[in-house]
Amino acid sequence: MISDDLLKKYGAEKVHLVKREVLFGVDTLPRYYFQVISGKIKMNNFNEDGKEFIQGIFSEGLSFGEPPLLAELAYPAYAEAVANSIVWKLEKSKFLALLKENPETHLVLTKVLARRLHYKATMVAEISSESPEHRLLKLIDYFKTHIHKIPDEEPYLVELSRQQMADLIGLRVETVIRAIKSLEKKNILQLQSHKIVR
């Protein structure tokens, strides 16, 4: 999202994370801007009885955790490496200077936040009032068109596990599995040796 050159120029450092390593915890105060160089980071919550909710999955080039950094609020979730990863880490004050001195980059960031807010607004309405099948379809279609930018008519092979999908839309795996079966019967999506194609 922010170019490597610019990040280096402002003194960003690389952080290496092994799979399952936690980068920051929920309710802690942000001190850095983070952006994925390689690998995959997820932000997630756990309720009292350990049920996970995935706020987002961030891969190469994407930043994460900027909202609380900008709003001066505690992190609303954990950040955990889904795979071995490398991320840029830039001190808050340097990040703010970067934004100030690079208005085009600032606008890019604003648009990123806007897009994320749009995703959250869509998902929260889904989660609060739609059926498992509806929620699942919205999620898959969101990933197809917005994350991977695949045209409607081209097939999309879903890379998410059933558990991950469940955690992204607030359901249990079994419910997701049953919803997938039902959607397949209705020919709304296809299964190719357990992989979902939409």
- Enumerate binding residues for DNA (CB under 7 A): 49, 51, 131-132, 161-163, 170-175, 177-178, 180-181, 191, 193-194
User: How many residues line the site for its own copies (CB under 8 A)?
Assistant: 40
Using rule CB under 8 A, residue 145 touches its own copies: no
Write the CB contacts of 45 (distance below 8 Å, at least 6 apart in sequence): 26, 52, 53, 55, 76, 77, 78
The Cα 53–Cα 171 span in angstroms is 9
Tokens of 45: 């919550």
Give Cα separations from 189 to 67, 150, 158, 160 (angstroms). 35, 15, 11, 15
The Cα 191–Cα 174 span in angstroms is 17
Give the three-state DSSP class for 32: strand
Q: Smallest distance, Å, CB 16 to its own copies?
A: 26
Question: Of the candidates 62, 81, 87, 109, which one interacts with its own copies according to CB under 8 A?
Answer: 109
Q: Which does 182 bind (CB under 5 to 8 A by kind): its own copies, DNA, none?
A: none
Q: Smallest distance, Å, CB 54 to DNA?
A: 13
CB atoms within 10 A of CB 125: 11
Q: Which does 181 bind (CB under 5 to 8 A by kind): DNA, its own copies, none?
A: DNA
Tokens of 53: 């909710």
Residue list 51-70, contact with its own copies (CB under 8 A): 51, 53, 55, 66-70
Q: Which does 188 bind (CB under 5 to 8 A by kind): DNA, its own copies, none?
A: none
Q: Which does 162 bind (CB under 5 to 8 A by kind): its own copies, DNA, none?
A: DNA
Using rule CB under 8 A, residue 73 touches its own copies: yes
The Cα 155–Cα 189 span in angstroms is 10
The residues that touch its own copies, with contacts defined as CB under 8 A, are 45, 47, 51, 53, 55, 66-71, 73, 76-77, 99-100, 103, 106-107, 109-111, 113-118, 120-125, 127-130, 169-170
